[in-house]
Amino acid sequence: MTYVVTDNCIACKYTDCVEVCPVDCFYEGENMLVIHPDECIDCGVCEPECPADAIRPDTEPDMDEWVEFNRKYAEVWPCIITRKDPLPEAEARDGEDGKRAKYFSETPGVGG
């Protein structure tokens, strides 16, 4: 099992989760985070820290696509271990449907 970040992180990018991760397996894109599924130790401490409820275990239905999505971007985006402010539109975008098609950016974040 592993945990993955899903589309509700897009356009929010809360980073509360990165501070509690014991193995630093979060990676930062311009407008979301991902978890490297091969580095995640399945401890689950990040899941309750996410205000947007965007972190899910891969054992939930239809998570295979998100596992591969997280792996793909974790291999090209920089690692993030320090909490940052969420995106300015985070509150307004939290829970919005179809965020991947509307807002997702492949551009890396700055990490840190």
- pLDDT of res. 63: 97
* Alpha-carbon separation of residue 82 from 13, 44, 48, 99 (angstroms): 13, 18, 17, 25
- pLDDT of res. 75: 98
For the chain, give the number of residues: 112
Reduced to 3 states (helix: H, G, I; strand: E, B; else coil), residue 71 is helix
- pLDDT of res. 71: 98
Collect the ranges in the chain with pLDDT lower than 50: none
Looking up tokens 């307004």 gives 92
As a whole number of angstroms, the distance between CA 42 and CA 70 comes to 15
- pLDDT of res. 46: 98
Give the amino acid at 88: P
- pLDDT of res. 34: 98
- pLDDT of res. 19: 95
Reduced to 3 states (helix: H, G, I; strand: E, B; else coil), residue 20 is helix
Nearest Cα to 30, choosing from 64, 82, 71, 73?
73
- pLDDT of res. 11: 98
* Alpha-carbon separation of residue 8 from 13, 23, 72 (angstroms): 9, 23, 18
- pLDDT of res. 62: 92
As beta bridge partners, residue 110 has none
